[in-house]
Chains A and B, each alone.
Chain A
Amino acid sequence: MWDMHSEAWWIKVLDGDLTPPEQALWEQHLSECPTCRAEWAALAQLEMVLRVAPVPVPPADLAAKTTARAVLMRRQRRLWMLLGISFLTVLLGAGVVVALGTVYWDFNRLLAAMVFSKDMLLQVLMRTLVGLMVAGRSFSPLVLALAAGLLFLFMPHGVLATVAVVMVRRQRGVAEA
């Protein structure tokens, strides 16, 4: 049995969830309880007021202004992302160069050779050259991948498509030959 003064009952009534017997009981209760009758009338009046409230209409230029701002902010975010990637790539490249230099360019010996001996200078230069060649071979895929990545990020789509078409034609030519 429902307590007709409870919040749950009122929510049920306002949602229109009463069964026909419940509706009859509710109407009987309203006729007997002046407090509920007054509240019910006030709620019904409020419902009407809120349902017919005028609709706020946004200013005519709001959509255009908002779109322009959203597009600009997206572009700025993309630009910052590209700058970040470029910066990281440069940083990585510099790190690689420093690492290679530490391993293959013996700066101290180079300096000593320049000061003390031409033979030693030649020897050190040869070692550096060989080291660079070895490094170049082992790191070339990485360098190529970085270059391709940068190209992909910065080149307009039309140029990329052209490059792709040229590459495909060359491959076909090689296959046919």
Chain B
Amino acid sequence: MTEQEWIMAAMHGEESAISWLVEAYQPMVFGLCYRMLGSPTDAEDAAQDALVKAVMSLQSFDLERPFKPWVLRIASNLCTDRLRRRRPEVSLDGMGDDGAWEWQAGSDPSPEQQLEARERQKAIQVLLETLSPVDRLVVTLYYWQDLSYEEIAEATHLSVSAVKSRLFRARRGMAECWAQNQDDEGSYCNSGMREAHYVGHA
């Protein structure tokens, strides 16, 4: 069966088709939620809500369009709402210790490699935390969901040029933050840094 046939079957309430859709899209939806929310527990909760919402709204899905940006848009909206409702200060202590990320199947990491990867994961989440919810979403969709500029624009309700601009500024801010972190080991830059960063240093 093709993806469209599965989607049509799910629209008619076929349990096996709903199961197929959830199985196929839950890794990317969970990945997006995890990058956006920074906590495995919150990500699991949000991914479940997003996928259920997608299944319940299937009647409004246009079969002529790709499904991935549509379902990611639902997850993005949900995560952005949750981030906006959150308090501004989010503690990252202990984040990553409960194993929301794993090594790709087939690899057998040593404890040192695991520790290193965990630290890297934590550092990436700290970088993402310095961004606004929309910028974090754009970065997540670009780097880890492999969406094109057009698809990101569709998922975020931004124009393509706004997506490019936001992505560039976010990259620049994160790069500066990363470099600063490398210089002063362990002291992550604060979230105000990105706003202070100007674009174009001529």
> Which residues of A pack against B, CB within 8 Å?
3, 5-7, 10-11, 14, 35, 39, 42-43, 45-47, 49-51, 53-59, 62-63, 65-67, 69-71, 73-74, 77-78
Contact = CB atoms under 8 A, between A and B. Distances in A.
Interface in B162-177: 164-165, 168-169, 171-172, 174-176
Q: What does DSSP make chain B's interface, helix, strand, loop or mixed?
A: helix
A11 B176 CA distance: 17
B171 A43 contact: yes
Interface string B25-45: 011001100110000100110
Given A5-B202, A70-B55, A74-B13, A62 B124 contact: no
A125 to B, nearest CB: 52
A39 B169 CA distance: 12
Given A46-B171, A63-B19, A74-B13, A53 B124 contact: yes
A45 B179 contact: yes
**Which of B43, B175, B201 has the most C-beta atoms of chain A within 10 angstroms of its own C-beta?**
B175
B94 to A, nearest CB: 16
Contacts of B178: 42, 45-46, 49
A52 to B, nearest CB: 8
B38 to A, nearest CB: 11
Contacts of B117: 54
Contacts of A11: 164-165, 168
A46 B177 CA distance: 10
B44 A58 contact: yes
Nearest to B29: A58
B138 interface: no
Contacts of B120: 49, 53-54
A43 B176 CA distance: 8
A51 B143 CA distance: 7
Given A50-B124, A56-B31, 14 more contacts: A5-B200, A5-B201, A6-B202, A7-B168, A11-B165, A42-B179, A54-B102, A54-B121, A56-B101, A58-B26, A58-B47, A67-B23, A69-B52, A70-B55
Given A63-B19, A63-B23, A63-B26, A53 B144 contact: yes
B48 A69 contact: yes
Contacts of B34: 56
Nearest to B104: A55
B18 A59 contact: no
Interface in B6-21: 13, 15, 18-19
11 contacts: A3-B202, A5-B202, A39-B172, A42-B175, A42-B178, A53-B124, A55-B101, A55-B104, A56-B31, A62-B26, A66-B52
A58 B56 contact: no
Contacts of A78: 13
A13 to B, nearest CB: 10
Contacts of B30: 56-58, 62
A41 B51 CA distance: 39
**Which of B22, B40, B165 has the most C-beta atoms of chain A within 10 angstroms of its own C-beta?**
B22
Nearest to B19: A67
A73 B56 contact: yes
A58 B27 contact: yes
A65 B44 CA distance: 11
A51 B179 CA distance: 17
B48 A7 contact: no
B22 A74 contact: no
B175 A54 contact: no
Interface in B145-193: 164-165, 168-169, 171-172, 174-176, 178-179
